[in-house]
Chains A and B, each alone.
Chain A
Amino acid sequence: MSQYKIIFTGPVGAGKTTAINSISDTPPIKTDAAASDMTKSRKAATTVAMDYGIMNLAGGEKIHLYGTPGQERFDFMWEILVNGGIGLILLLDNTRTDPFQDMKFFLEAFDKFIGETGVAIGVTQMDISTTPTIDDYHLQLKTLGIKPPVFSVDARVKNDVSVLVQSLLFSLDPGLEEEA
């Protein structure tokens, strides 16, 4: 059976692990937790450097939810991760000094993948830092010549993450309909 995956990316603290946790059917595997266990058992070679969750679909299919490591920013990880990916969820932390710089960085880094699939952007922490606004993000994106969905998101809230992922899928094909 093919491996289908949705990639979650964004800077450290943007809520990737939390977002994956919100829609995953299994508790996400956190690298840090895995690392401590691995350290104890001295099996560091098998440790992964990403966050991971699963959505189980009707018929036994699984959608793998991968979170990119936020700090490392090695493009080789991303190349491996995005291979066969359905699309990209980019989470941005509105409390960071320059979330636009973060946005441009990740959009450029995943440029090829986004061109082949699509991207939906979730802005987190908007209740703490109300600026930039969602409209400000759209203005920035206009200069980049793209019009992806941009939603304010609380990564802890399943519905927020769900709506964001749905928008990604509808961006890929507005003709999509629910299937049993």
Chain B
Amino acid sequence: MSNNAKSPLKVALHAMDERSVRTMVMYLKGPCQGAAVVVDKASAEVDIFDGDSVNAKQLLAERLAKPTVKQVIVLSLQNVYLDNVVSVKKPVKSEDMLGALAEAKARFEQAKKNSPTIADNEASVDDIPEEKPVLKSYTINTDEQNKTSKHQTAMQLNEAAFGTYIGNVQGVDVNDPAQFAKATYVPKDYFQGYIQSAINTCQDKNETLQLHSGWRQLVLLPQSHEIWLDAEDKELRAFASLKLDHAPSKKMSLSPFHSELSTLTKSPEKFHSMDAFVWKLACWTSKGRYPDSIDVDHPVYLKHWPNFSRLLITPHAMRIAALLVQEPRTLGDVAVVLNIKPQYVFVFVSAAHAMGLVAQARRESDELVQPPDLNPIKKQGLLGRIISKLRGNKA
């Protein structure tokens, strides 16, 4: 038993709910080695307040107004500067708490000696930082909740489903390293290029625009970052793979959208988030190729993780993202290191590139330093089983 535990400081807890009280009791008993023990308010030598609770300010004001030898400790996320109050900043560390208890104990002993004359407490609770409201005010637009397409969770493709869903390119084996140079496509030649250009324009103008493509009605809404398309995914997938005619008579154009937005909200399932739309459009346009602006012999890197919970997840996409966010690698190197078909790397990079998430490492140092091989984590088998469970719900 520690010295502290032989004569523990008697403390009372204030402005804490039942759960906090239980936690605090455990805390004093365990990490604080019994330096203090929770007692009823009348028997306490020290009062401990949770300075962040809703009623803390009022309770503390009432307590400080009473002349007493009892000492006060305040636990708070913010720095508390009050006379005759010992403060401990959250997260409460055992060392800090033990120090505060020792200080409060010393003050209590001193105050007892000076008793019965007790100086009025000069501390003012106005010195305690006001608790900020924790919630922003907002208006819930119920139309938002009906836009199922926008809020649809990401679909995860496995390798078997990938071929059917993404399609392939005639005349080139994108998985043959000798043919990598031919496994490119030019986004501008496809609907993808027009959409990316239209998005840039509508965002620059911050204006709702309609794209006249000679195909289906498409409206771009920059303020909500959405696209409304009068077509199903399978139709878009087919259209995405068509190389478009650039003849002047076939050019697409943009014009302001003059109709009432309510005409669109009648079909909430046709709304797409711009990011999710561009991402899947790039996947379908790529068909396992990569954009011609990427040099397959130079490393690329990922600026940050894509928002996968709202995007089409192609096979191995998360593994590729995890690797490329760590360090630049060539596309071929990614396929080798992860032991996967290059087409999976190409389609991921096409989508991430369309979102502006991929860049080519141009700094000399990026190319001189050979990225290290992967160091398998010790628990690889276990983590793999967790992945299987999460994906397939195998028990």
B140 adjacent to A174 (CB under 8 Å): no
Quick one: which of A80-136 are within 8 Å of B by CB?
Answer: 86, 95-98, 105, 109, 122, 127-129, 134
B144 adjacent to A127 (CB under 8 Å): yes
Partner of A4, one of B134, B374, B382: B382
A167–B302 Cα distance when bound, in Å, is 15
A176 contacts across to B, CB distance below 8 A: 319, 377, 380, 383-384, 387
Q: B326 an interface residue at 8 Å Cβ cutoff?
A: yes
B389 adjacent to A55 (CB under 8 Å): yes
Q: B18 an interface residue at 8 Å Cβ cutoff?
A: yes
A141–B305 Cα distance when bound, in Å, is 12
Tell me whether A151 and B307 are in contact in the complex, defined as CB-CB below 8 angstroms, given that A166-B390, A172-B383 are known contacts.
Answer: yes
A138–B325 Cα distance when bound, in Å, is 12
Q: B298 an interface residue at 8 Å Cβ cutoff?
A: no
List the 8 closest A-B pairs by CB distance, nearest first. A179-B384, A174-B322, A151-B309, A76-B31, A75-B91, A173-B377, A174-B323, A170-B322
> Measured between C-beta atoms, what is the minimum distance from B313 to chain A in Å?
7
Tell me whether A58 and B319 are in contact in the complex, defined as CB-CB below 8 angstroms, given that A73-B90, A96-B134, A129-B136 are known contacts.
Answer: no
Q: A37 an interface residue at 8 Å Cβ cutoff?
A: no
Partner of B19, one of A63, A69, A150: A69
| Apart from the given pairs A96-B136, A163-B318, A176-B377, 19 other A-B contacts in the complex at a CB distance below 8 Å | A4-B379, A23-B390, A39-B18, A73-B77, A73-B92, A76-B92, A77-B23, A96-B135, A105-B77, A134-B307, A142-B304, A149-B308, A159-B153, A163-B309, A164-B309, A170-B321, A171-B322, A174-B319, A179-B388
Tell me whether A174 and B374 are in contact in the complex, defined as CB-CB below 8 angstroms, given that A25-B395, A31-B19, A150-B305 are known contacts.
Answer: yes
Q: Report the nearest A residue to B144, measured CB to CB.
A: A127
Q: B30 an interface residue at 8 Å Cβ cutoff?
A: yes
A31 contacts across to B, CB distance below 8 A: 19
Tell me whether A174 and B387 are in contact in the complex, defined as CB-CB below 8 angstroms, given that A159-B153, A159-B154 are known contacts.
Answer: no
Tell me whether A58 and B140 are in contact in the complex, defined as CB-CB below 8 angstroms, given that A147-B325, A169-B386 are known contacts.
Answer: no
B379 contacts across to A, CB distance below 8 A: 4, 86
A162 adjacent to B319 (CB under 8 Å): no
Q: A57 an interface residue at 8 Å Cβ cutoff?
A: yes
> Measured between C-beta atoms, what is the minimum distance from B95 to chain A in Å?
10
B374 adjacent to A69 (CB under 8 Å): no
B305 adjacent to A167 (CB under 8 Å): yes
Q: Report the nearest A residue to B319, measured CB to CB.
A: A174
Q: A29 an interface residue at 8 Å Cβ cutoff?
A: no
A61–B386 Cα distance when bound, in Å, is 10
A146–B19 Cα distance when bound, in Å, is 34
Q: Report the nearest A residue to B26, measured CB to CB.
A: A49
Do most interface residues of chain A lie in helix, strand or loop, or is the interface mixed? mixed
A95 adjacent to B19 (CB under 8 Å): no
Q: A41 an interface residue at 8 Å Cβ cutoff?
A: no
Mask, B203-232, CB within 8 Å of A = 1, is: 000000000000000000000000000000
B31 adjacent to A128 (CB under 8 Å): no
Q: B20 an interface residue at 8 Å Cβ cutoff?
A: yes
Q: A152 an interface residue at 8 Å Cβ cutoff?
A: yes
A166 adjacent to B318 (CB under 8 Å): yes
Most B CB atoms within 10 A — which of A61, A97, A150, A170? A170
A56–B326 Cα distance when bound, in Å, is 31
Partner of B385, one of A57, A77, A171, A172: A57
Q: B133 an interface residue at 8 Å Cβ cutoff?
A: yes
Most A CB atoms within 10 A — which of B136, B307, B395? B307
Q: B262 an interface residue at 8 Å Cβ cutoff?
A: no
Q: A175 an interface residue at 8 Å Cβ cutoff?
A: yes
Q: B132 an interface residue at 8 Å Cβ cutoff?
A: yes
Would you list 22 pairs from A and B whose C-beta atoms are within 8 A, ordered by A residue? Answer: A49-B19, A49-B22, A63-B386, A72-B20, A74-B23, A86-B379, A109-B91, A128-B138, A154-B151, A163-B313, A167-B321, A167-B322, A169-B383, A169-B387, A170-B387, A173-B374, A173-B376, A173-B383, A174-B319, A174-B320, A174-B374, A178-B387
B154 adjacent to A95 (CB under 8 Å): no
A25–B323 Cα distance when bound, in Å, is 30
B186 contacts across to A, CB distance below 8 A: none
B304 adjacent to A44 (CB under 8 Å): no
Q: A145 an interface residue at 8 Å Cβ cutoff?
A: no
A109–B35 Cα distance when bound, in Å, is 24
A56–B394 Cα distance when bound, in Å, is 8
Q: B381 an interface residue at 8 Å Cβ cutoff?
A: yes
B18 contacts across to A, CB distance below 8 A: 35, 39
Tell me whether A44 and B22 are in contact in the complex, defined as CB-CB below 8 angstroms, given that A128-B140, A170-B318, A176-B387 are known contacts.
Answer: yes
